[in-house]
């Protein structure tokens, strides 16, 4: 199972970041989980540049630019040079700040050009009774992946993060049955976008109010390959508990 810890802007303290990184290294060594940490950019660079551990590092976003006279931009190339190997692309909080489907598609290409494994976030704003959210998910996936070559498409990890389930408590998260349905639907769309067996290895994650109270049920009741975890990933005790519950499961 793959665990991506999205620290968002929750962590601003070096000592706290150090503690979380050390804990993650221990967990990666003992739990059999693949752990990817996504700290805020300056903290990310402080740890990723000298990283030789089993833990990997992800950018929370990358710039649309390819470098040059662009003050304040952090490019895929700069992240790759700092030892980063994954990039979260199209998180709903970046989409809310202006990332359109077209920008998300461009950023995917930028990440892949520097051999960063993209974690493409998709997710509907709300659920309706007529299944319109399914068409929305199909559109987000298609617009992001269609411009890529079939080989590139196969490298993209998809994180399903319904907006209505982000940043809440476990009781508001998606139910295992509904997540299972959505995972199968996403895999079906991926298979259409990658004819042949290319989508067989595509990984699909879930994110949105994953906590110790629901992680085991979500992992057990679905074909999900892992989780993108926000608020529950920045408290060492809670993060340790999440890994423990998953380890019992896997």
User: Which residues sit at the interface with ligand PGA, rule CB under 6 A?
Assistant: 6, 161, 166-167, 207-210, 228-232
Nearer to ligand PGA (CB atom), residue 193 or residue 226: 226
3 has which bridge partners?
Answer: 35, 227
- Helix, coil or strand: residue 158: strand
Nearer to ligand PGA (CB atom), residue 131 or residue 167: 167
> Torsions phi, psi of 31, nearest 5?
-95, -15
CB of 1 to ligand PGA, least distance (A): 16
Q: Which residues contact 225 (CB under 8 A, 6 or more apart)?
A: 1, 2, 157, 203, 204, 205
CB of 189 to ligand PGA, least distance (A): 21
Nearer to ligand PGA (CB atom), residue 150 or residue 167: 167
- Helix, coil or strand: residue 3: strand
What is the crossing angle of helices 101-113 and 132-145, to 10°? 40
The H or E element that residue 5 is part of is strand 2-6
Is 91 a known active-site residue? yes
Residue nearest ligand PGA, CB atom distance: 230
Cα 169 from Cα 137, distance rounded (Å): 24
> Torsions phi, psi of 65, nearest 5?
-80, 165
Nearer to ligand PGA (CB atom), residue 67 or residue 167: 167
> Torsions phi, psi of 218, nearest 5?
-70, -35
Nearer to ligand PGA (CB atom), residue 107 or residue 199: 107
Q: Which residues contact 243 (CB under 8 A, 6 or more apart)?
A: 3, 27, 31, 33, 35
Q: Exactly one of 91, 114, 155, 231 is catalytic; which is it?
A: 91
Nearer to ligand PGA (CB atom), residue 37 or residue 154: 37
Q: Which two tokens stand for residue 247?
A: 């380890």
DSSP state of 9: T
118 has which bridge partners?
Answer: 87
Q: Are 80 and 115 in contact (CB under 8 A)?
A: yes
Q: Exactly one of 93, 161, 211, 231 is catalytic; which is it?
A: 161
Q: Which residues are catalytic?
A: 91, 161
């Amino acid at each position: 199972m793959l665990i991506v810890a999205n620290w968002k802007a929750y962590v601003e303290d070096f000592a706290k970041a150090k503690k979380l990184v050390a804990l993650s290294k221990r967990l990666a060594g003992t739990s059999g989980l693949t752990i990817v940490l996504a700290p805020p950019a300056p903290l990310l660079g402080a740890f990723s540049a000298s990283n030789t551990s089993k833990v990997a590092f992800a950018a929370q976003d990358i710039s649309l630019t390819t470098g040059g006279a662009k003050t304040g931009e952090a490019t895929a190339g700069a992240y790759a040079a700092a030892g980063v190997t994954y990039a979260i692309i199209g998180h709903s909080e970046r989409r809310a700040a202006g990332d359109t489907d077209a920008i998300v598609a461009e950023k995917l290409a930028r990440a892949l050009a520097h051999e960063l494994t993209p974690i493409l976030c998709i997710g509907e704003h709300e659920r309706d009774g007529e299944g319109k959210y399914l068409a929305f998910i199909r559109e987000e996936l298609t617009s992001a992946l269609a411009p890529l070559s079939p080989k590139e498409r196969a490298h993209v990890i998809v994180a399903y993060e319904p907006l209505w389930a982000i940043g809440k408590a476990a009781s508001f998260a998606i139910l295992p049955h509904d997540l299972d349905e959505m995972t199968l639907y996403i895999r079906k769309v991926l298979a259409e976008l990658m004819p042949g067996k290319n989508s067989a290895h595509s990984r699909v994650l879930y994110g949105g109010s994953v906590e110790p109270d629901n992680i085991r049920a979500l992992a057990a009741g679905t074909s999900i390959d892992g989780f993108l975890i926000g608020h529950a990933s920045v408290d060492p005790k809670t993060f340790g508990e999440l890994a423990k519950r998953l380890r019992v499961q896997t």
